[in-house]
Structure 1
């Protein structure tokens, strides 16, 4: 036994995984011939920081909190100056950080160092200069380009209910003054659920398209480098999608963007695979037992197909971005913070990239159950470590995935970042039966397991990953493998095959 194979064997036994048989390294992996099928943005995997976090505001409260008063509660502003938060975010670079959410629809920017305690009439909250300086500084420190949306509540409108640019213009001017840049912007957050934008009484799709056109005309002149992102519709998996449309007014893409509307630079949508228990998710089938089901994992496909169809009609040729997505709407289910959701998370990244989504923004970085980090102390959750390993192994060129024997076993392939000819793999096994993937004569692997499906504790190759005192990430050492790799039942694996010799990756 060679020393290298011995190290791999020890590490894999520690993780409860079968090591490859000796001599298996002579087997061909087939990775060299996988064709390219598309590309994603270098900042493909990105994240949201809700405007309610920046200013302090009402957001989804913990399940442990008393139910009285509804599903939301006030929380103070997030500490965007935290060294720990910045170190953890920097490990996800390059990325986009989206400062938006429902709270942004009625946020007033106080363009003075002494901000009033209360927002003017027609707004719900105040964004101070100091808060925005921290947000811009955080983005720079984390190599995250800023994406945002603008206020649309009654305070932004004239007597006739027409949206005015003055509030947005003051905020944009101050951003430029402090050295910030808005890389991309939506007019408002989720205009498909129009009541959340706090529009005037009797507001119609025609009124919205008029205001959207005013926004486009203004920002094209005021900030020509800013990408216009639209329409930003909220999509849900069934049955939640149909239930939402029966219970409230929902405007579809063609109502928000007409053929004669100004064309956006990016065609966008939001997607949640479930509704959390906070908002009646139990009646719509949300359950831990379904968190790793192939049907739930596949549910994003219908949303991507619909959005792609509408993009082709309304903004042909424009890239598709999912600017807000997570396990469940309304803050996520309790298991969104556990290993159970990592299967959906990794699979959705792979499925989205394979189907032409150029950017995927997870909601959120550090607020509520679906966050990558715990909101109290920024401790990384399982999805955070999966995100880090995705960044390290899955590059911008998407490859045709290797064929797998079961819908419970999904493998995605991209070119390996920084290695010409290299291939990165992300494998998700939601079944109980171990599965094998061929990796060629030499590869490195990271095997993610947990003591229980709903555990917040995660092991990578048998070790607990962590943030070291110097700000670096620890416990993420790869193990060398050769030939084939056994992916355990209810396990996730990332693989880097630097010497794959893939022609599409050169």
Structure 2
């Protein structure tokens, strides 16, 4: 047994001592409990990344130039010091495209709070220095064509929303489709396809998104009805997702409920006004507010890498789901649920969002939501701020990226009941094995820092175990070998290690995918 001690945490690299729990698995008889989209695991590229502008400042932010500081296109009512200017992202970069392709098939959602007030300039002119009245930013044709081209290259379908700020509204304050019409027309003209769209980003915080003062559920209902009428003519194959709510059902981990922006209108208020107008129910979820937001609101920040390794932290995800599932059941019964924006913490994430410790939460989120049939989970972001799957400066993959790649390679859309549960700090999920008829994949998450777990398997297979030298490292190892992408974005060989039928041990602080191609599960044919 090799043991590495770092930051007071004992990490076991080899699994040679007795497990605390041993459970027999019957992969051939596991029942199908749900089916998800082939693009279940997806990602966001924020509109502000595409246009350039002020997005959440990394904790290791570089100093800004006066010109960058002068840029003010940031959400209403939030301290501008929370943000840092970024030039428009170059979506033509071969390295970025190659890394994103490793997550195909996926949805690429280009939205965010900044989309609410971004004007689509439907000409080939460069962006003006000052946006039109009623907007805070300009999205050019060239920038949007870059998005379309990237989506094709990366095997991603587009998801978005439209501008809803003052510039889109008539004298009565009602939303009009004039600006959106050019956006949809141009997308089609350059070979793009918008698979799904929300009306606006996070209407439960309408004031932050630039909606008119006092924007109500009734206002939202009026506007969404106008948008749906427009959408079904302009792009009849596009799904209308909504309402895209956030902030309900889960309070901050520290128990604080005051000090933040006012939540208005509420989801029930909006859905009472719209009626069953949406093709699917969408919501956003973050486990908490990050250090940036809690400090801005004068609240004590309580989350640490240690709290991030607890069942209570993981279970916040299901608290959010259960809250919004109840709204779905009441107002949109039978409709699919889509989680169109999520990550470790809102406002750019905490520092540990980019570290190995977040892999445990991330995989538990995917496992639990897939078992509930959530259609798609869109991570925020692909490559920006601390919660990006990739480092925004170098595009170096972070630990969550490597876990996402393994999910894509091993987990099919058919979700199974594993039929077993592990004691203590460990969880098991199951799905059909991707690209193997009758095969089954197990996801085993052992977040205990000292106790092993074990499963007894009736057939042989392969295991892919992710670990790190320490939880707060950005290093990720697969079966003991560090994963590093090439300078061109190429991925290393990510082969599994063979496991025989019988007892298989899972070391503390590891996440493992175990593929069982010989399971002969009838639900997986």
TM-score interval, normalised by the smaller of the two chains:
over 0.9
Could you tell me how far 1:32 is from its partner in structure 2? 0.9
C-alpha distance after superposition, 1:239-288 (max 9, x if no partner): 36972697513322211112762521110100001111111167252222
Structure 2 residue matching 1:197: 3-state secondary structure: coil
The verdict on how the C-alpha distance between 1:108 and 1:49 changes in structure 2, with shifts beyond 3 A counting, is same
Change (3 A) 1:19 1:90: farther
Q: Which residue of 1 aligns with 2:115?
A: 104
Match of 1:251 in 2: 265
**8 Å contact from structure 1 (residues 288, 335) kept in 2:** yes
- Tell me the equivalent position of 1:271: 285
Alignment of 1:83-94 (within 5 A): 83-94=94-105
C-alpha distance in structure 2 between counterparts of 1:233 and 1:242, whole Å: 20
- Looking at structure 2, the residues matched to 217 and 53 of structure 1 have their Cα atoms a distance apart, in angstroms, of 30
Give 1:32-47 correspondences, 5 Å limit: 32-47=28-43
The corresponding residue for 1:326 is 343
Residues 475, 371 of structure 1: CA spacing in aligned structure 2 closer, same or farther, 3 A cutoff? same
C-alpha distance in 2 between matches for 1:407 and 1:204 = 46
Report the counterpart of residue 365 of structure 2 in structure 1.
348
Counterpart in 1 of 2:409?
392
For residues 246 and 338 of structure 1, what CA distance do their matches in structure 2 show? 27
Give deviations 1:112-154, integer Å, cap 9, x for gaps: 1113232101000111111111100000011100000001100
114-123 vs 161-170, which moves further = 114-123
Give the corresponding residue for 2:7: none
Partner of 2:252: 239
- C-alpha distance 244-58 of structure 1, shift in aligned 2 (>3 A): farther
Q: TM-score, normalised by structure 2?
A: 0.89
Superposition deviation, residue 417 in structure 1? 1.1
Please state which structure has a larger fraction of its residues in helix.
Answer: 1
Q: Are 2:25 and 2:420, in contact at CA under 8 Å, matched by a contact in 1? A: no
Deviation digits for residues 1-43 of structure 1 (CA, Å, limit 9, x no counterpart): xxxxxxxxxxxxxx8222699xxxxx96311111111111110
- Of residues 468, 492, 495, the one that matches 1:474 is 492
1:375 to 392, 399, 418: 392
| Cα distance change, pair 124–296 in 1 and its aligned pair in 2 (3 A) | same
Give the whole-Å Cα distance in 2 for the aligned partners of 1:270 and 1:245: 20
Helix, strand or coil: the match of 1:467? Answer: coil
Displacement of 1:485 in angstroms is 2.0
Q: Is contact 1:17–1:487 with CA below 8 Å preserved after alignment?
A: no
Aligned to 2:479: 461
1:389-420 per-residue CA deviation (whole Å, 9 max, x = no partner) reads 00111111110124223241011100011111
CA distance in 2, matches of 1:50, 1:225: 23
Deviates more, 1:454-463 or 1:251-260: 251-260
Residues 409-435 of structure 1 deviation map (CA, whole Å, 9 limit, x = unaligned): 011100011111100111111112111
Pair 71,320 (structure 1): closer, same or farther in 2 beyond 3 Å: same
Contact (CA 8 Å) 1:213, 1:261: kept in 2 or not? Answer: no
Contact 1:29 1:440 (8 Å CA) reproduced: yes
Which of 48, 52, 59 is 1:52 aligned to? Answer: 48
Over 3 Å counting, the alpha-carbon distance change for 1:134 and 1:175 in structure 2 is same
Q: Deviations over 1:133-189 (max 9, x none)?
A: 110000001110000000110000111111010100001111011010110000000
* Deviation of the 1:196 alpha carbon: 2.0
Shift of 1:209: 0.8
In 1: Cα distance, 2:341 partner to 2:161 partner = 12
1:297 alignment counterpart: 314
Partner of 2:354: 337
CA distance in 1, matches of 2:259, 2:427: 32
Q: Is the 8 A contact 2:220 2:274 kept in 1?
A: no
CA contact (8 A) 1:232 1:323 kept: yes
Q: Tell me the matched-pair count.
A: 488
* Contact 1:147–1:185 under 8 Å retained in 2: yes
Aligned to 2:148: 136
The residue that corresponds to 2:124 in the other structure is 113
Find the residue that maps to 1:445 and give its secondary structure: strand
Structure 1 window deviating more from structure 2 (433-442 vs 243-252): it is: 243-252
Partners of 1:61 and 1:72 within 8 A in 2:
yes
CA distance in 2: counterparts of 1:138 and 1:125, whole angstroms: 21
Alpha-carbon distance in structure 2 between the residues aligned to 1:53 and 1:101? 10
**Residue segments in structure 2 that go unaligned for 5+ positions in a row:** 1-11, 65-78
2:490 maps to 1:494: no
| Whole-angstrom CA distance in 1 between matches of 2:245 and 2:330 | 16
Cα 1:421–1:29 change in 2 (3 A) is same
- Aligned residue among 467, 470, 478 for 1:449: 467
